[in-house]
Amino acid sequence: MKKSTIISFGVLLSALLACSGDNTGSGDAVYRSVQVELSRNTASTNAAGDLAWSFLDCETLAYTSDAGDNGTASVSVEGGGVLSLQLSLNEKGSRLWCYTPGLYGEGQSFSVPERITKTGDNPAMVNGMAFCSTTMSYSGKNLVSGNIKPQTSAVILEIVDSRGTLSASAISSVEMVSSDGSFLAGSISMNLQEGSIAEVKNGSPKLIFDCTDIKVGTTESPLEIGAAVLPCTFTGTITVTGGSFSSTVEISSPLALQAGYVKRIRVDVGRTGGAPSFPRRLGIMGDSISTFEGKIPSDHRKYYPAGDVDDWTKTYWGQLITEYWKCELDVNTSWSGSSVADGKAGTVRTPFVERCGLFNDPDAIILFGGTNDAIADNQIGLGEFSYDTPLSSMNTTRRFRDAYIFVIRTLMEKYPKAQIICIIGTHVTGDYGTSVEQIARHYNLPYVDFRGDSEVTIYSGSHPNAAGHAHKARRIYEETLNLF
C-alpha cells in the first residue's frame, strides 16, 4: 500500500516524543548522517508593508522521511539566516520533510491561536508560527538543501486609549471575529510533500486573545497582544472589553493575513461602547486638495471645481459631511497653494499658521497639509520638534515641524473640545511625512496616512479626482470610527 503524504502532527506524537534527532535503528537497516540546510524563501516585507515573521527563533525542528524516520533535531543558525540540522536517516529513503514541532513539549499537534506577544514584566515571546519545508531528495547525498515555508500568519493588536481615560483599566477579554466566516483558528494537518496545510479541524471564525491582568496602553506605548492565525483576508470586528468599558472596532477594508507575515492592527478604545456620536460641525484646514469655490471664504484661493470633482459633495470632506458623518460644515479655511509654514517671499501667502483662528465652534477639525511644504522650490526646511517652546517665541517661517506644532497647539488652545484629525497626503513624503506622524503621536492625535496608497487616483498633479476623493473619505471614516 502506498504511504499517504497527509501527516497530522497529532498522529506523529508517539514517534516524535520517542526520538531526539538520532535514529540509529536496528536489524538490517543502515543509517547514515545527513546535513540539512534550510533557508526562508520569504521577503522581509510584503506589499502591504507587513514584516516577515522570523523562524530563526526555532530551537528544534521535527522531520520525517519516506523511509519512516521521525524525530526532532536541534537547529543551528548559519550565516545568511540558514538553518542547519544534522540527521541520521535510513539510507533506503529518498525524500525528507522538516517542519515546526509541537509546542511546550506536550505533543506534536499544531493548533492556532498560539500566543505570540505578552506585555508586562515578560518580554515578547516567540511561539506559534508553523513552518514546513518543500520536498527534499537525500538519496546519495550527504548535504541536503531546501526552503522552509510559512504556513500560518500572525496578528498583533496594538490596544491604545487616545483620550487617556482608560489607560489604567484592566482588560477582561479581546475577541476578533471574521464577518465572512473565514477561519482564524483551528487545528491543522500538513501535507508534507506539498508543504501546505492539508486540513483544518475545528475551524473557527473567532479568535480570543490571552489578555489576563494587562492594562490598556497609551498611543506612545501601546499594549501589544497577538497570536498565530490561519491565513485569510480579514473583515470583521475587534471587541475589547474591560470591567468598565466595551469598545468594538469594525474592519470593513479587507486586511490580508498572509502566511509568514505579521499584521499589526491598532485598536483605540478611547471612545467606549454604544453607537458612534459623530461630529455635529466639521472644520477643515488644508491646501488646494481641500478647497471648493463657494465653500471657502471668498478671499481664499481655490482649486476645485476641477475635472470630475464638479460639486463640493464629491470632495473627501464633502462626503464625510453628507454621506458618513451627516454633519454641518463649520468653516473650511483651506487655501490653494498654501503651506503650513510661512514661506519665502513670492510664494503663496496665508500659510496655515495664520489661519488658526477662523473656525466658529467645530467638534472636529481635519488638518490636511504639508504637500506644499515638501516642495523643494518653496524652500520650507524641516526645523525642530519645538514641543516646549512658548507659542509667542516659536519660529514658523520656513520651518515645517515648528509650524505644524504651532498649528496643533493653537487649535488645541482655541478649540479645546474639538477632535483634531491629521491627514498625511500621498505627496507628503520623506521626512515631512514622518514628521507629521511623529507630531501626531506626540499629541495622541489620530492620523490617516495616504503615503503609498495607489487607490488615491489623481486628476492633475497631486489633486485627486472624484474616485480619489471618495477613497479618501472612506478611509478617513473607517480609520476614525472608534473616535466617535
Pairwise CA distance, residues 235 & 265, whole Å: 12
For residue 120, what pLDDT is reported?
45
For residue 480, what pLDDT is reported?
87
Looking at the chain, the domain(s) classified CATH 3.40.50.1110 span 281-483
For residue 105, what pLDDT is reported?
38
Instruction: State the architecture of 281-483 in CATH terms.
Output: 3-Layer(aba) Sandwich (3.40)
- 173 grid coordinates: 477579554
Pairwise CA distance, residues 331 & 327, whole Å: 12
Pairwise CA distance, residues 429 & 331, whole Å: 28
Cα separations in angstroms, 438 against 118, 420, 442, 443, 456:
25, 15, 6, 9, 23
For residue 277, what pLDDT is reported?
67
- Are 152 and 259 a contacting pair, CB within 8 Å? yes
Terminal Cα distance for the chain, rounded: 64
For residue 310, what pLDDT is reported?
95
For residue 481, what pLDDT is reported?
78
Pairwise CA distance, residues 124 & 398, whole Å: 43
Task: Note the helical H segments in 294-396.
Answer: 316-319
For residue 88, what pLDDT is reported?
93
3-state class of 315 per DSSP? Answer: coil
- Are 370 and 400 a contacting pair, CB within 8 Å? yes
Q: Tens-digit pLDDT profile for the chain (484 aa)?
A: 333 333 343 333 333 333 334 444 445 789 999 999 988 766 778 777 788 876 656 678 888 899 989 888 888 877 667 889 999 999 999 999 888 876 433 335 678 887 775 444 443 444 567 888 888 999 888 899 988 888 889 998 888 876 666 767 788 889 999 999 999 998 888 777 777 788 888 899 999 987 776 888 776 778 888 888 999 999 999 998 887 677 888 887 788 999 988 888 888 776 544 445 688 899 999 999 999 999 999 999 999 999 999 999 999 999 999 988 989 999 999 999 999 999 866 556 689 999 999 999 999 999 999 999 998 777 899 999 999 999 999 999 999 999 999 999 999 999 998 999 999 999 998 999 999 999 999 998 999 999 999 999 999 888 999 999 999 999 999 888 767 6
For residue 50, what pLDDT is reported?
82
3-state class of 181 per DSSP? Answer: coil
